[in-house]
Amino acid sequence: MKQFLILTFILLVNCSAENTTKDNNDEVLDNLWCVPKTDIAGGGTYPVKENPNYKSVSEVDAIGFLNENSRLALLKINGQVYAYPYDYTNNFEVINDTFGDVPLAITYCPITESALSFDRRLPNGEIIIMKASGFLYKDNLITTDANLKYYWSQMAIRGLRDSSKEIRLKTFNIIESYWLSVKTHFPNAMVFNHPDVADCNCDEDPVPIDYNNLLGVIHEHVFDDIVHVFSYNNFSNGIELDYTSVNGQDVIIVGSKEKVYFNAFYLPSNLSFAALDVNEFPNVLIDNEGNIWDAFGYAVSGNRQGSKLNSPKSYVAAEWAFKDIFENIVFHN
């Protein structure tokens, strides 16, 4: 009897290789999911968003939809900063773009308040177009591709069907910020512009700063991730530093409640860091060689100018979401 129950459990939670028909809303049978169907909700898909339009900070500010407290994601790549206000991304949840030869998808789940950027290149060399699937895994966004072949949990970064269960997406470092900070510290940023801002109701439910959210740094195991979480209250005195270890490597956490800023970097073996004064923001670190590093992990001066610190998978999300999705959480106080 015990062996029968174990076998039944395995059949329920593991993916099936069978092709199963799906209707126009992509409502699928239970045996396609690698996780219990009770953890899956929703259905249907969002539109694909490619080739996004960007405007200058001054142009977007003149439209007047964003307030100074509006939350957003910031990406820095090829020397340019890009801003993605959540008030605008909510209508798509996934934005596809290509920066030079790097195809990325910027994603935001308004329920779990989590923003991540994914590299759209799969290990087999395929470059996918991503979109929101309409499904949720434990109330978190499930991303898919334009052909509805692959499905991943955004926060767990875990494949949820047979086609994607072994594929761990690479992430690209982004940080969470807010509109006043962009205007003050990143005035040359390019801002994702909603294509129909006059009719998108983007200002009806503004997405403000939430100091109760946490930064999670993921220890990457395929089936049993461990997440280290940090509170804004850990970084309430200017720019402060904390440390942990993930994936067998030492990690430095840099944060500032005043600047609404978190980031995490792997520690190079030959460098040590100190926090800069908060008035130096968006520069945040100085190392033992005298190099200055900015909020994204780029060296902006010194003999390493132009270099970038590597980062573990990390992002900001609601505390309850981390507790729902991860079984192993290490709270840093």
pLDDT of the residue at 258: 96
Tokens standing for residue 186: 């990143």
Are the beta carbons of 124 and 25 closer than 8 angstroms? Answer: no
Half-sphere exposure of 21 (CA within 13 A, CB side): 2
Are the beta carbons of 214 and 155 closer than 8 angstroms? Answer: no
Those residues whose C-beta lies under 8 Å from the C-beta of residue 131, and which sit 6 or more positions away, are 45, 46, 47, 48, 49, 92, 93, 94, 96, 143, 144, 145, 146
pLDDT of the residue at 236: 94
pLDDT of the residue at 29: 47
pLDDT of the residue at 219: 84
Tokens standing for residue 266: 């792997």
pLDDT of the residue at 4: 38
Q: What is the DSSP string of 116-174?
A: EEEE-B-TTS-BPPEEEEEEEETTEEEEEETTS--EEETTTTEE-BTTTTT----EE-E
pLDDT of the residue at 255: 98
Residue of 185, 182, 176 lying closest to 280 (CA atoms): 185
The Cα 272–Cα 229 span in angstroms is 22
pTM attached to this predicted model: 0.89
Tokens standing for residue 7: 């076998």
Reading the chain (333 residues) residue by residue, the pLDDT tens digits are: 444 344 334 434 445 433 333 433 444 445 689 899 899 998 877 889 999 999 999 999 998 888 899 999 999 999 999 999 998 998 899 999 999 999 999 999 999 999 999 999 999 999 999 999 999 999 999 999 999 999 999 999 989 998 898 888 999 999 999 999 999 999 999 999 976 655 555 555 667 889 999 999 998 765 567 899 999 999 999 999 999 999 889 999 999 999 999 999 999 999 999 999 999 999 999 999 999 999 999 999 999 999 999 999 999 999 999 999 998 999 998
Are the beta carbons of 263 and 311 closer than 8 angstroms? Answer: yes
Residue 33 Cα distances to 144, 151, 153, 223, 277, angstroms: 13, 9, 12, 15, 49
